[in-house]
Amino acid sequence: MNFVRYHYNGTFTDGKKFDSSHERGAPFSGQVGLGRLITGLDRGVQGMCVNERRKVTVPPHLAYGSIGAGDVIPADTVLVFDVVLLDIWNTEDKVQTRTLSKPESCKRLAEATDFIRYHYNGTLLNGVPFDSSHSRNGTYDTYVGMGYLIKGMDEGLIGMCVGETRTIIIPPFLAYEEKGYGTVIPSQATLVFEVFMIDLFNPKDDIAVVVKEVPKTCTRKTVVGDYIRYHYNGTFQDGSGFDTSYQRNSTYNTYIGMGYVIQGMDKALQGLCIGEKRRVILPPHMAYGEKGTGDIIPGSAVLVFDIHVIDFHNPKDLIEIKVTSKPKKCNLTSEVDDLIQYRYNCSLMDGTLLYSSDHYEKAPITTLGANKVIEGLDEGLRGMCVGEKRVVIVPPHLGHGENGAKGVPSSAVLHFELELLDLQKGVPDGYMFVWLGDSPDPLFPAMDLNKDLSVPLEEFTAFINIQVVEGTGRLRPGMDADGIIKDMFNNQDRNRDGKIVAEELKLKVEEDSDKARHEEL
């Protein structure tokens, strides 16, 4: 037998009212077909649908007969009931669920002990609303299947996917039963919930990783202590976004495994290749927990990050060199103080070209070790033969550092393609000319080419040029040779008479020797 809940107005045939559940503010609730109502009304409500309105006219013999009912209903009175059925249920009823919409892919279903976040609209069976999470602008967050909810809701939420919308109909004995709930839910009310599942996880969940794209070559993967630059899109499980680095046109830069980011991200960033793309799903206890953060991430939210690794390095990294082409004969290699000309392309590790020597009319010329270029490039250009090509990877602490440079992002690892075009051997810093072996001893007779006991500028110039041609001496490259030789001559011509004599050279040598001894002391 069904239980029913209905409102009614009871009148006599002349329209005079003798009773009304509306005026009492409480509908009638009871079981039909057991003789607990007057027979005519008991029969009259059978077959009704919820929200159906029916006029039931009951003759005296199916009402209160010849006796009547106290002073209210006279004997042999026809009664007229205007009935609206509000609810109907049976003790055999079960929770009814109906899926209204569901994502195409559903990799996980809600299970007992899961923690879920959902929105809902709650109505009585006749459609009268009694509650809504939407009106509070906040999800309902709870464990499912653990007794924190009414029995019917606990049962109805099991098996839902994130993003699924479901109608759950709960009979009174699996809801608030005879007590109801305050003034909102009457006694013995069937409840109807339209539920939209926002989020679900289990307190035992670890991070979940879905690899989307891995480069063909991956010689190194991220480890704790590395510094990483990556782009990301951050969403909730229902697909709504909460943050993205792309909008800011700037990577997120951080150390890995050192507590600078949320626990789950610290773990998810390990074992990645440069260029790799992956999706990581972080349960709340490895993200922002029950409190969330600000107005952006609600409490107990599962976070989904789509990550693209731009580059990473370790603060202890040195430059990496890979020779791609080298001449068969390589007798002369670049070193500190050499003057070189080279071709280059400089890119980020994702292939983005930053700058290139091809953009200029002439390839650059520099002196190695003179702090003319970034430290890592200077090191990468050493030990090269003319015609050699190599790839050099420069970590940021040997490049443009945390501040970056024009067109170069902060903390960027740089990828150089280099080719050495020309090499002129250099001299140590502070010198204009060096002997490549032992100098003539004594020196002055060697300088005095015509043996007239004096050496003018022209003769001194000829002497120095002979040393350069014969490979016994070297002038500083990249500078005007005549100007260097003239400065050297003036340095030896102590009395400024336009010639060097043996005594001047002797005095200069002794002076330099005394200065060296003084510096040692």
Q: How far is C-alpha 405 from the chain's CA centre?
A: 24
Q: Which of 185, 191, 192 is nearest to 27 (CA)?
A: 185
Tokens of 192: 């109807």
- Give the active site residue among 12, 18, 28, 130: 130
Pinpoint the alpha helices (H) of 399-456. Answer: 443-447
CB-CB contact of 153 with 118 (8 Å) = no
- The residues, any chain, with a CB within 8 Å of residue 11's CB and separated by 6 or more, are 17, 18, 79, 80, 82
Q: Which of 254, 257, 258 is nearest to 245 (CA)?
A: 254
Q: Report the Cα–Cα distance between both ends of the chain, in Å, rounded.
A: 116
3-state SS record for 184-242: CECCCCCEEEEEEEEEEECCCCCCEEEEEECCCCCCCCCCCCCEEEEEEEEEECCCCEE
Looking from the CA of 375 toward its CB, the CA atoms found within 13 Å total: 9
193 labelled catalytic? yes
Say how far apart CA 27 and CA 23 lie, in whole Å.
Answer: 10
Coil, helix or strand for 458?
A: helix
Residues in the chain: 521
- The secondary structure of residue 118, as a DSSP letter, is E
- The secondary structure of residue 343, as a DSSP letter, is E
176 labelled catalytic? yes
246 labelled catalytic? no
- Give the active site residue among 193, 232, 255, 305: 193
Q: How many CB atoms lie within 10 A of CB 415?
A: 22
Q: How many CB atoms lie within 10 A of CB 509?
A: 14
Question: 């001559």: which residue's tokens?
Answer: 489
- Give the active site residue among 115, 118, 176, 201: 176
- Give the active site residue among 12, 76, 150, 365: 150
CB-CB contact of 226 with 313 (8 Å) = yes
- Give the active site residue among 131, 243, 306, 350: 131
- Give the active site residue among 3, 64, 118, 120: 120
305 labelled catalytic? no
Pairing of strands 28-31, 3-12: antiparallel
Residue 158: what residue type? I
Q: What is the set of active-site residues?
A: 120, 130-131, 150, 176, 193
